[in-house]
Amino acid sequence: MAQSQRMSAPAAFVEGQIKANGLCKITDERTDYSTLAKRYFRKDLLGARLSAGNVQYLWPNEFDAEGCREDSVVLPFGNSDEREIAIIHADGDGIGAKIMAAMRNAEDAGAEIKSISQNLTLATINAAIAATKAVLLPKADKNRLAARPVLLGGDVMTMIVRADLALDFLTHYCREFSAQTKDCFANLPDGHPFCGGVTASGTAVFIKARQPFSKGLKLTEALTKHAKGKGDGHISFFRCTTSKIPTDVEDAWPSEGLTFGPYDACGFDRLRRLAEVLEDEAIGRSGLRLILDAKSELSQAAFDRACKIMDARAGETEAVPSVQLKDALAVLGADMSVEPETVKAALRDAFMLHRLRVNVESHSGEKC
């Protein structure tokens, strides 16, 4: 019988429950990380925090029903044989610098940082609850949610989410985090570093359920750091298509032009629109493959040939596929006449969204 794969407990929680002398802070017994992790999952403290007291819904602690305990909750994959999950990670932008600036001007630095930390945690939890209500609850399977909270507190959120829901959850969370921090810090005076709230950046890394969680998490954190380097409120995503999970950004994207991201809120909405264009059956795959499989720099001639294939496949229709494609690319900022490789990168990202079968609504709240 194959051994089931159990999801990892949050290291931050487990480590925080052991004293320097090796005794548990709660029971004062000698214990270890493994024992604490089992206690943690049985009590499901993090799930209870994210559920805001709603015991109707169950948070999975197994990927596979085979070989697991009777009281285990298995993540519902539905009718999909892919068994694909996403590790999503998000944290606030520029929090460290903002805290340092706030402490310099505070009369009581200790009280200031305590207040900031409490408000950030409240905003993080409320944002995750809002995303759960909007994205996870409508897709619950017999009260089982298709996700598992891993870390939730401060300005950090880490979740395991079924692949088709992950990007919707992440974008919704980031939007809500900005709104929640604005509310939580509403009473601060003008000029305070946290006045007006803060944004969050995040990443979703898609892997198979039986691939190593720890490696996926490491890549997710690395790509989130990379996204934050591109500006506030940016999102990136990566799908592992081989058994080996890259270890860092350079392994994931060894050369420029392999992704058009990271994306800000408007950019991601525009990418979603491009993915919707690719869903049109008239587009076909022959023309797209001519672009995506180009071994060298994409030429204008190759792009034109691809467009002719798409239009010929569509026949006599009001909506000309090549025109729709060019318009969606132009709105996104990918231009064959300026930088041909941006077209290939943008189409690669959009095609990945299409393959993930996601229907990501616009959560930016901005006119994009």
pLDDT in tens, 278-290: 877 767 677 777 7
Place 19 in a pLDDT band, splitting at 50, 70 and 90: low
Best mean pLDDT range from 39-48, 193-202, 320-329: 193-202
What CATH number belongs to 43-254? 3.30.70.270
Tell me the C-alpha distance between 197 and 177, whole Å: 9
The pLDDT of residue 20: 55
The pLDDT of residue 121: 92
Tell me the C-alpha distance between 332 and 274, whole Å: 8
Tell me the C-alpha distance between 343 and 335, whole Å: 6
Domain boundaries, the chain: 43-254, 271-355
The pLDDT of residue 160: 95
DSSP string, 147-207: EEEEEEETTEEEEEEEHHHHHHHHHHHHHHHHHHHHHHTTTSPTT-TTTT---EEEEEEEE
Segment 30-51 mean pLDDT: 58
- The number of angstroms, rounded, from the C-alpha of 20 to the middle of its chain's C-alpha atoms is 34
The pLDDT of residue 125: 92
Whether 364 shows a pLDDT value over 60: the answer reads no
pLDDT in tens, 118-156: 999 999 999 999 999 999 999 988 888 999 999 988 999
Would the pTM count as exceeding 0.75?
Answer: yes
- The number of angstroms, rounded, from the C-alpha of 350 to the middle of its chain's C-alpha atoms is 16
Tell me what the pLDDT averaged over the chain comes to. Answer: 82
CB 232 within 8 A of CB 94: yes
pLDDT in tens, 43-101: 566 777 776 656 678 888 888 777 677 778 888 887 666 789 999 999 999 999 999 99
The pLDDT of residue 35: 53
The helix (H) or strand (E) run that includes residue 87 is strand 84-92
pLDDT in tens, 102-113: 999 888 989 999
